């Protein structure tokens, strides 16, 4: 049985849409990006995903799947906003520019581990202050890396994307499926 180590309803929905049979065991750790000066962004996302997977592996038996998504604009990592002011600042920074979305993926079973990550480039159109305020008022930005949901109302901000769309939602399905096939050949579909 596949165990998803994630609180994210978006990751759960993506796995269900792919027809993958799983159960959820939430990690105890907080979704905080650790300080790793000089580390590459893909490495950071993979390490956080591995930490989540190992946390759940202490309490559950089976193949553990964990993921962590970070948004990078310039050289700044933009995690989940702390509050509305942080979401406002993030959206203003993303306005009219390209940013990168990295999702680290970890699979753990006993002593076996497989790590990977996906990178997608996203461009926002220029956002007005009124649009940013209206979006923040929806509450959608508050639990998302980069303060937006591409699968929700935040889709209106995107003018271009290069790479895996589901990665921007929080789980690069093509990567996950190929990793599962490599890690444990078998069928996880319901």
Contacts 24+ apart (CB under 8 A), 33-37: 33/70, 33/77, 33/79
| 188 found inside a domain | no
- Looking at the structure of the chain, the number of domains it has is 1
Tens digits of per-residue pLDDT, 130-188? Answer: 999 999 999 999 989 999 999 999 999 999 999 999 999 999 999 999 999 999 877 66
Handedness of CA 68, 73, 75, 78 (dihedral sign): negative
| 66 found inside a domain | yes
| 190 found inside a domain | no
Going from the C-alpha of 97 to that of each of 88, 114, 160, 183, 185, the distances in angstroms are: 15, 33, 10, 37, 41
| 74 found inside a domain | yes
CA distance 44 to 137: 31
Tens digits of per-residue pLDDT, 92-129? Answer: 999 999 999 999 999 999 999 999 999 999 999 999 99
Is pLDDT larger for residue 32 or for residue 153?
153
Over range 32-59, report the average pLDDT.
Answer: 84
Over range 32-55, report the average pLDDT.
Answer: 83
CB burial of 37-70 (b: ≥16 within 10 Å; e: otherwise) equals eeeebbebbbbbbbbbbbbbbeeeebbbbbbbbb
Supply the CATH number for residue 76's domain: 3.90.950.10
Tell me which residue has tokens 């930490």: 51
Active-site residues, by number, are 68
| 189 found inside a domain | no
| 99 found inside a domain | yes
Query: Is the per-residue pLDDT at 35 higher than 90?
Result: no
Residue 41 contacts residue 77 (beta carbons within 8 Å): yes
| 129 found inside a domain | yes
Q: State the pTM of this model.
A: 0.92
Domain that holds residue 122: 2-183
Over range 3-24, report the average pLDDT.
Answer: 93
CA distance 169 to 75: 21
Q: What are phi and psi of 28, to 5 degrees?
A: -80, -25
| 21 found inside a domain | yes
């Amino acid at each position: 049985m596949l165990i998803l180590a994630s609180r994210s309803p978006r990751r759960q929905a993506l796995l269900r849409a792919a027809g993958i049979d799983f159960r959820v065991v939430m990690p105890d750790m907080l979704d905080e990006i650790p300080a790793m000066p000089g580390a590459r962004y893909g490495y950071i996302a993979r390490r956080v995903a591995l930490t989540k997977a190992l946390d759940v592996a202490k309490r559950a038996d089976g193949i553990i799947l964990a993921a962590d998504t970070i948004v990078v604009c310039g050289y700044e990592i933009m995690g989940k906003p702390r509050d509305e002011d942080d979401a406002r600042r993030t959206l203003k920074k993303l306005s009219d520019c390209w940013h990168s979305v990295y999702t680290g993926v970890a699979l753990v079973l006993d002593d076996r581990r497989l790590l990977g990550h996906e990178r997608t480039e996203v461009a926002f159109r220029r956002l007005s202050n009124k649009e940013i305020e209206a979006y923040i008022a929806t509450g959608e930005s508050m639990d998302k890396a980069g303060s937006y949901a591409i699968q929700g109302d935040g889709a209106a901000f995107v003018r271009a994307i290069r790479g895996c769309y589901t990665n921007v939602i929080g789980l690069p399905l093509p990567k996950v499926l190929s990793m599962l096939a490599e890690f444990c050949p078998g069928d996880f579909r319901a």
